[in-house]
Structure 1
Amino acid sequence: MNALAPDLLDRFRSIVGPKGWSSEPEVLALHSREMRDLYAGTSPLLLKPASTEEVAAIVKLARETRTKLVPQGGNTGLVGGGIPFDAGDEIIVSLQRMNRIRAVDALNDTITVEAGCILQQVQEAAREAGRLFPLSIGSEGSCTIGGNLSTNAGGNAVLRYGNTRELTLGLEVVLADGQIWNGLRGLRKDNTGYDLKHLFIGGEGTLGIITAAVLKLYPLPAAMATAFTAVPCPRAAIALLEKSKKATGGQVTGFELLPRIGLDYVLRHTPATSDPLAERHPWYVLMEFSSGRDDGSIGATMEAVLAEGLEEGLVLDAAIAQSDAQRTAFWKIREAMSGAQKPEGGSIKSDISVPVSRMADFIEQASAEIEALIPGVRIVAFGHIGDGNVHFNPSQPVGWEPARFLAMWDEVTGIINRIATEMNGSISAEHGIGRMKIDSLPHYKPAVEIELMRKIKQALDPDNILNPGKVVRVG
């Protein structure tokens, strides 16, 4: 272990004061392990700055002493982007104490928040102002806005509102030399050169540490219609999506594909869940429309779409939520689908995107190739089919030991990534690169793009002190 000198650690501690650090082994362990236990590391110190100025002072000292920093939000990431390595020479910088709502401008439809704000806290602050902050993901009760920005989080409403990048107007960032860039402008039009915020959104803390953001708000929907819908196949789901978009004029808020095997997992392993439909079907879509008018029209539109789908064979059955409680129950099934895979044994996770028009092709081809490679494998393909993103997660065959299956991780993900790339897709739709995909990325991204990423990293962080070994390798 390359231990950092005690006097250096004392200098970092003095920046944040007695409430702003921890070296307790149990605390460090919580911040040094990824939630799925795929990645774990070692750090001698956790810093918890309470202000942008403290973050800047930490970074200045880190650059002076060439100390590596690992920025961290709620530690809900899935690719090891916020986890230190094993050398013990990295300090974790948690932004969770920086959790103030700085301002809400309802007329401008913006909210200015610090990076440590929990996503749910931002949603609630917007709702109190009569507005909607539409970013919604399964970990919204514990993930932070800084983490959402650093990974360009997607979620369940991307189809209508876009991902985190589209929801961001301005940033405040501590740069790798300790300077503070105040780009907290709530402008929808600012054509004054390079749009610098986009360098840091999705940068996973490798180019700068995001400390605050100006985010877009929207009117609260006055009415919503939600249906748990059985479809014969993903190809029918795509056709139903197109029909829904035309009928609503862009009011499709959510459109999630769910396989029967995934529903079975949820029903077996998640308390207080039940099958929304009387009979079993091969595939389902959880679809949601929203409207600014509470006149019954959005519900009538959904009924008409489903009726046409039944006539055309796109829909096999459907249940429309009759209450908020029933809507919540439908969404609980979707949110539980990832966690419900764990009790079934080893699961190889992927997070790809392809054009919506190729989604059914991808699921069919990837399923066929992996089933040929591993007879008895159980494919759980689910997620945001409306915006071309599927979590394609093969589960181990029944009776296999998890270790035997997980040993095939690289071979299986190689198939998935190759097919996605051949269809002009991406090997990471919303989880990021982190530690997990840093070595895979050059195989699927053009060399010129990798070189541009390296040049940006070297220009903004020439000493490679910000989250080194994540996203792109330099040197």
Structure 2
Amino acid sequence: MAGSEVLDRARAIVGPSHVLSEPADTAPFLADWRGRYRGEALGVVRPADAAQVAALVRLCAETGTPLIPQGGNTGVVGGAIPDASGRSLVLCLSRLNRIRAVDPIGDSLTVEAGCTLAAVQAAAEEAGRLFPMSLGSEGSCQIGGTIATNAGGTAVLRYGPMRDLVLGLEVVLPDGTLLNGLRALRKDNTGYALKHLFIGAEGTLGIVTAATLKLFPRPRSTATAFLALPSLEAALRVFARLRGALGDRVTTAEILSDSQLAAVLAHVPGTVRPLAAAMPWYLLAEVTDPMAGLDLAAALEDLLAEGLEDGSVADATVARSHAQAEALWKLRHSVSEANRKSGIVIGHDTAVPVARIPDFVARATAAVEALRPDARVVAVGHIGDGNIHLVVILPDSARTESQPLEATAHAVSAAVHRVAIDLDGTISAEHGIGQSVRDALAAYKGPAEMALMRGIKRLFDPQGIMNPGKVVLTGEP
């Protein structure tokens, strides 16, 4: 069937105004926010509800048209961008943005996939509850995308990644069947847990249209601290002390290298160095509790005093107001903006066992510098779960070198990934696979796991129309 006919039938399903085909209208949907991935498409369709999504999927199944689901398009691995063939339809889910149900007694919230993370947080807060996932892009990223990538964020230490926050899913399968699994049960032992196949599958097995999510008590006591540390080994000792004394009250433990903090201070207006002296590493720690009136700041200060005495902490500050805490968080949330302004960014989403973080950073940095002595290596991440983003920043002059920039990025990433794998780590902890890590996946997973993944993909999507080219290639042996 000709592309024009597919678009005409799509218009009959969602209405003419919700099918975009002019280049000026489709351009924002065909490139990622960093400008690293670009593609072409027949058009962009914007369904209003799950029934329209199912009808569009049936159309694509009938015509063999590839379908690319897209949420807020805030990803960094090219998982929501079509290829260059121009044969695909991009399925924008932003109109599926209703809060369907809130249950403060059962601590659950049912929302559609196009709701932004910020809107879900606000709905939970209005009900006197907390939806704990927090990302720098929470104002624009959508719940469907966070589920599709099994997003992490800054509160994984206490609440887990998206996989731990989903109770039930509504999903459109590759043949257009609507699978309604929107159960709010905490315990359901009736066979295979199918929802987990779709969480982290990046739209390659089906399209999430709604989800029932876990809610939690709102924190009523909070304390935030920023620590200067002489080494990563010291950071681990401080983290262990915090966890040992405060347990699950430690909600966040974010590590930044001095090079990362310097980039933020240089490129992001309104950021201020919180401590006078520069040190190799910094730790942003936040502790919370649902009980009001707890003096968590005093508890933090006592623990930090112990660190100052034994030398594991060089300096520290505890926020005395919400504004001071926000200023500290601004340093962490501004790293992506700062790095983009610093040069050519080659990012990584590696994780290793927590105790091996110092070894990973040292070895990976050395491997990068051996390849590119002109590289600046910065590190930021979640020290409590081992997810360290080693970011390699090359000068803009690298764009004009004889070796293509893509080849340079591949060599750098391969070196970083080898170190992570050698240390029993992973090459993707929270960003997903998409296009950027797909080819490296086989080296990490191994033949047996890859064969199972390809088999699952073929079982669910025998035509290969669901987000083709992402995660796994079914044509591979």
TM value normalised by structure 2:
0.97
Q: Is the 8 A contact 1:20 1:50 kept in 2?
A: no
Residue of structure 2 in register with 1:416 after alignment: 416
Q: Is the 8 A contact 2:367 2:416 kept in 1?
A: no
Report the Cα offset of residue 274 of structure 1. 0.5
Q: Is the 8 A contact 2:7 2:19 kept in 1?
A: no
* CA gap 1:73/1:4 in 2 versus in 1, 3 angstroms: farther
Tell me, in whole angstroms, the C-alpha distance in 1 between the residues paired with 2:292 and 2:229. 28
- Within the candidate set 22, 31, 37, 2:35 is matched to 37
Aligned residues: 472
How much is the aligned-residue C-alpha RMSD, in angstroms? 1.3
Deviations 1:315-337 (A, max 9, x none): 10011111111111111110111
- Within the candidate set 389, 393, 396, 1:395 is matched to 393
Tell me, in whole angstroms, the C-alpha distance in 2 between the residues paired with 1:84 and 1:13. 20
Q: Is the 8 A contact 1:222 1:292 kept in 2?
A: yes
Q: Is the 8 A contact 2:347 2:391 kept in 1?
A: yes
Residue of structure 1 in register with 2:428 after alignment: 428
* Structure 2 stretches lacking a partner, 5+ long: none
- Within the candidate set 260, 263, 266, 1:262 is matched to 260
Residue of structure 2 in register with 1:448 after alignment: 448
Residue aligned with 1:241, SS:
helix
Residue aligned with 1:393, SS:
strand
After TM superposition, the structure 1 = structure 2 runs for residues 9-24 of structure 1, keeping only pairs within 5 Å, are 9-24=7-22
Question: In structure 1, what residue type is equivalent to 2:266?
Answer: R
Residue aligned with 1:375, SS:
coil
Structure 1's consecutive aligned runs of 4 or more residues displaced over 3 angstroms after TM superposition are 399-407
Report the Cα offset of residue 265 of structure 1. 0.9
Residue of structure 1 in register with 2:123 after alignment: 125
After TM superposition, the structure 1 = structure 2 runs for residues 144-155 of structure 1, keeping only pairs within 5 Å, are 144-155=142-153
Residue of structure 2 in register with 1:55 after alignment: 53
Residue of structure 2 in register with 1:466 after alignment: 466
Report the Cα offset of residue 189 of structure 1. 0.4
Tell me, in whole angstroms, the C-alpha distance in 2 between the residues paired with 1:183 and 1:357. 39
Report the Cα offset of residue 469 of structure 1. 0.8
- Within the candidate set 281, 290, 293, 2:291 is matched to 293
Tell me, in whole angstroms, the C-alpha distance in 1 between the residues paired with 2:408 and 2:217. 47
Tell me, in whole angstroms, the C-alpha distance in 2 between the residues paired with 1:395 and 1:403. 15
Residue of structure 2 in register with 1:64 after alignment: 62
Residue aligned with 2:300, SS:
helix
After TM superposition, the structure 1 = structure 2 runs for residues 357-396 of structure 1, keeping only pairs within 5 Å, are 357-396=355-394
Q: Is the 8 A contact 1:396 1:402 kept in 2?
A: no
Q: Is the 8 A contact 2:225 2:316 kept in 1?
A: yes
Q: Is the 8 A contact 1:346 1:403 kept in 2?
A: no
Question: In structure 1, what residue type is equivalent to 2:31?
Answer: R
Report the Cα offset of residue 400 of structure 1. 4.3
Report the Cα offset of residue 402 of structure 1. 4.2
Deviations 1:161-209 (A, max 9, x none): 0000000000000001111110000011001111000000000000000
Question: In structure 1, what residue type is equivalent to 2:345?
Answer: S
Residue aligned with 1:249, SS:
helix
Question: In structure 2, what residue type is equivalent to 1:307?
Answer: A
Question: In structure 1, what residue type is equivalent to 2:60?
Answer: A
Residue aligned with 1:38, SS:
coil
Tell whether 2:137 aligns with 1:139: yes
Q: Is the 8 A contact 2:3 2:42 kept in 1?
A: no
Q: Is the 8 A contact 1:73 1:143 kept in 2?
A: yes
Tell me, in whole angstroms, the C-alpha distance in 1 between the residues paired with 2:242 and 2:400. 43
Report the Cα offset of residue 443 of structure 1. 1.6
Q: Is the 8 A contact 2:41 2:82 kept in 1?
A: yes
Report the Cα offset of residue 454 of structure 1. 0.4
Q: Is the 8 A contact 1:277 1:319 kept in 2?
A: yes
Deviations 1:54-88 (A, max 9, x none): 00001111111111100000001101110001110
Tell me, in whole angstroms, the C-alpha distance in 2 between the residues paired with 1:133 and 1:19. 34
Report the Cα offset of residue 294 of structure 1. 2.6
- Within the candidate set 340, 345, 348, 2:346 is matched to 348
* CA gap 1:336/1:15 in 2 versus in 1, 3 angstroms: same
Residue aligned with 2:463, SS:
coil
Residue of structure 1 in register with 2:112 after alignment: 114
Report the Cα offset of residue 444 of structure 1. 1.7
Tell whether 2:190 aligns with 1:204: no
Report the Cα offset of residue 240 of structure 1. 0.9
Residue of structure 2 in register with 1:276 after alignment: 274
Report the Cα offset of residue 33 of structure 1. 0.2
Identity among equivalent positions (%) equals 51
Tell me, in whole angstroms, the C-alpha distance in 1 between the residues paired with 2:397 and 2:341. 13
Tell me, in whole angstroms, the C-alpha distance in 2 between the residues paired with 1:385 and 1:50. 40
Tell whether 2:88 aligns with 1:90: yes
Residue of structure 2 in register with 1:234 after alignment: 232
Residue aligned with 1:274, SS:
coil
Question: In structure 1, what residue type is equivalent to 2:259?
Answer: I
Q: Is the 8 A contact 1:345 1:402 kept in 2?
A: no
Tell me, in whole angstroms, the C-alpha distance in 2 between the residues paired with 1:377 and 1:67. 42
Report the Cα offset of residue 401 of structure 1. 3.5
Residue aligned with 1:379, SS:
strand
- Within the candidate set 218, 222, 233, 1:220 is matched to 218
Tell me, in whole angstroms, the C-alpha distance in 2 between the residues paired with 1:296 and 1:109. 23
Tell me, in whole angstroms, the C-alpha distance in 2 between the residues paired with 1:282 and 1:341. 18
Tell me, in whole angstroms, the C-alpha distance in 2 between the residues paired with 1:383 and 1:98. 32
Structure 1 stretch 171-180 or stretch 342-351: which is displaced more? 342-351
Question: In structure 1, what residue type is equivalent to 2:128?
Answer: G
Structure 1 stretch 39-48 or stretch 293-302: which is displaced more? 293-302
Tell me, in whole angstroms, the C-alpha distance in 2 between the residues paired with 1:375 and 1:68. 42
Q: Is the 8 A contact 1:152 1:165 kept in 2?
A: yes
Question: In structure 1, what residue type is equivalent to 2:281?
Answer: W
Q: Is the 8 A contact 2:3 2:87 kept in 1?
A: no
Tell me, in whole angstroms, the C-alpha distance in 2 between the residues paired with 1:303 and 1:293. 19
Q: Is the 8 A contact 1:4 1:89 kept in 2?
A: no
Tell me, in whole angstroms, the C-alpha distance in 1 between the residues paired with 2:43 and 2:376. 42
Report the Cα offset of residue 9 of structure 1. 1.6
Residue aligned with 1:338, SS:
helix
Question: In structure 1, what residue type is equivalent to 2:430?
Answer: E
Tell me, in whole angstroms, the C-alpha distance in 1 between the residues paired with 2:248 and 2:131. 18
